[in-house]
Amino acid sequence: MDFQVVVLAGGNSKNLTPLVSKELPKPLLPVANCPVLYYVLHQLEQSNLKDLIVVVEGEDAALLVGAWISGTFIDRLHVEIAAVPEDIGTAGALRAISHHLTAKDILVVSGDLVSDVPPGALAATHRRHDAAVTTMLCSIPVSGPSESGSSGGKDKAKKLGRYNIIGLDPSKQFLLHIATEIEKDARISKRILHAVGQMEMRSDLMDAHMYAFKRSVLQEVLDVKDTFQSLKEDVLPYLVRSQLKSEALLNRTPQGEENGNEKVSSQNNQAFISRILANASTPSFHGIYSKNPDGSSSTRKTHKCCVYIASSSSYCVRLNSIQAFMDINRDVTGDADHLLSPNNIIGPSPKLGTKTTVGPNCRLGEGSEMGDKCQVKRSIIGRHCRIGSHVKVVNSVVMNHVTIGDGCIIQGSVICSNVQLQERVELKDCQVGAGFVVTAGSEYKAESLAKKEK
């Protein structure tokens, strides 16, 4: 397939402090003991999309990510690592690597997407419609701990976060409207509505940050609109807005058509007008708009903005907040465990003390040791952790090389690598940054603990 894949593996994300750090850039954040980037690359490999550019913000992060990829996917994927400056936005990142893009179509995937939707399906949709841009939409994930359903009716009012307002045509193939500002009233272009007749406005779909672009269109837009920062907020809405009056394709007039036009124009004129008068149904709304008043189709250009809607049963979540991190960890070990190929995850069986129980939906990394009478439920424990006796770990994520003293109780928390928890520490809904030491007997609730800035 003539597709080039760009994986936008952004560097540090403010929403994820203290989980990410210089030593652990966001793409390498472990989800069920496996860097989050793995999930994207794995899916791409499954779809036979093997020509990749991974864009990382910052040189240091790029080195780390590069090292990991070459270690893991050697001989399986053809990966180039590109480092771009920080905070230039998704469009900026693409602009920076624009000269590397050579294929006819470009697939852009966010590096923090954990999904079982095959990227190949998106690419196929894109090709089928010969679209300028195709975006993947998925149902909005239900966030929050799953058992909170019992907490009663009050939360129901805010059950789902609203992410996008999306307008689709009746066949649900074309994207007609997209708005990210859900707090404002939606303003829908009448011209597009005229062309298509009816538009379905959906607020229960989310832009999954996986796009297929026609390379020529993408490069043109990035060149001309040099202030565009974000793919989602600038480039995509721009393409959707201008789909009936495309400028991106204006200078690529197909040859050959022009000569014939002169002769047939009067004839076309009649045919076209009569078709409008007869109110004949046209195969596609783009068709009628791509015609000139004189019937020729060479100068008026339209481009198509398509969507691929993932089926509601598929799994598709972006790791962009701590809540999402917890949710994904829970789901990947639970409902969506098909995302992981088993051999990658379960290391050599760890050493467990007597009367220690490990419940279902848990992962234990290789070389971790646990003392006596421990309980682990719905949790993930990384490699080479040392866990003392009488420790309880519930709904939590423990990364690598963590030392947990006797009698600790950890609930709903994230413990980053190299953390030391001394005896009888109680943590509930906390995040502990890498290398932090929690003193014996302390209790924390819903706090974020991290080392002071170096």
Partner 1 sequence: MFGIYLRPSWFGACFTQYALFFSLSFQIHGDFVLIRGDTVSNMSLTQALQEHKDRRKKDANAIMTMVVKQSKPSPITQQSRLGTDELFMAINPVTKQLLYYEDKAEYSKGFISLDKTLIADNPSVILHNDKQDCYIDICSQEVLSLFTDNFDYQHLRRHFVKGLLVDDIMGYKIFTHEIHSSYAARIDNFRSYDTISKDIIQRWTYPFVPDVLCGSSAIKVERQGTYRASDVTLSRSAQLGSFIFIGQGTKIGNDTKISHSVIGERCTIGSNVTIEGSYIWNNVTIEDGCQLRNAIVCDGVILKSGAVLQPGVILSFKVVVGQQFVVPAYSKVSLLQQPTQQDSDEELEYADSTSGTGELRSDKLNGDIAPDLSETASELGTGGVGYIWKVFEGAYDEEWRHSVAPIPTDKLVKLMLDRDEDEELLTQDGNVISASGELKTDSDGNGSEDDDNEDSRDDYVSFEKEVEATFLRAVHENVKVDLAVLEVNALRLSYNMASVDCGGAIFYSMMKLAVESPHNSASELHRNAADIVTTWQKLLKSFLHDIDEEIEVILKFEEMCLESAKDFAALFPQILHLLYDKEILQEDAILRWADEKEGADESDKVFLKRSEKFIQWLREAEEEEEEDE
| Residue ranges that bind partner 1, judged by CB under 8 A | 162, 165, 167, 181-191, 193-204, 225, 227-229, 234, 237-238, 241-242, 244-245, 247, 269, 273, 276-277, 279, 288-289, 293, 300
In the structure encoding, which two tokens stand for residue 236, read together? Answer: 């995509």
Angle between helices 59-72 and 36-46 in degrees, nearest 10:
50
Evaluate whether 21 touches 434 at the Cβ level (below 8 Å): yes
Edge to edge, what strands does the sheet with 426-428 contain?
357-358, 375-377, 392-394, 409-411, 426-428, 443-445
Least Cβ distance, residue 138 to partner 1 (angstroms): 14
- 346 class by beta-carbon count within 10 Å (0-12 exposed, 13-18 middle, 19+ buried): middle
Cβ closer to partner 1: 103 or 186?
A: 186
Least Cβ distance, residue 410 to partner 1 (angstroms): 34
The residues, ordered by sequence, that sit 6+ positions from 374 with a Cβ below 8 Å of its Cβ are: 352, 353, 356, 357, 387, 389, 390, 391, 392, 393
Cβ closer to partner 1: 243 or 431?
A: 243
Evaluate whether 339 touches 39 at the Cβ level (below 8 Å): yes
* Rounded Cα–Cα distance for residues 288 and 279 (Å): 11
Cβ closer to partner 1: 185 or 453?
A: 185
**Region label for 424, one of left (φ > 0), alpha (ψ between -120 and 50) or beta (otherwise):** left
Cβ closer to partner 1: 302 or 413?
A: 302
Least Cβ distance, residue 220 to partner 1 (angstroms): 14
Cβ closer to partner 1: 81 or 221?
A: 221
In the structure encoding, which two tokens stand for residue 274, read together? Answer: 């009569």
Q: What are the Cα distances from residue 372, in Å, to 8, 26, 58, 242?
A: 44, 34, 44, 65
Cβ closer to partner 1: 2 or 200?
A: 200
Cβ closer to partner 1: 163 or 436?
A: 163
Least Cβ distance, residue 320 to partner 1 (angstroms): 20
H helix or E strand, kind and range, residue 4: strand 3-9
* Rounded Cα–Cα distance for residues 382 and 398 (Å): 6
Least Cβ distance, residue 92 to partner 1 (angstroms): 11
Cβ closer to partner 1: 276 or 437?
A: 276
Least Cβ distance, residue 141 to partner 1 (angstroms): 15
In the structure encoding, which two tokens stand for residue 357, read together? Answer: 């129980």
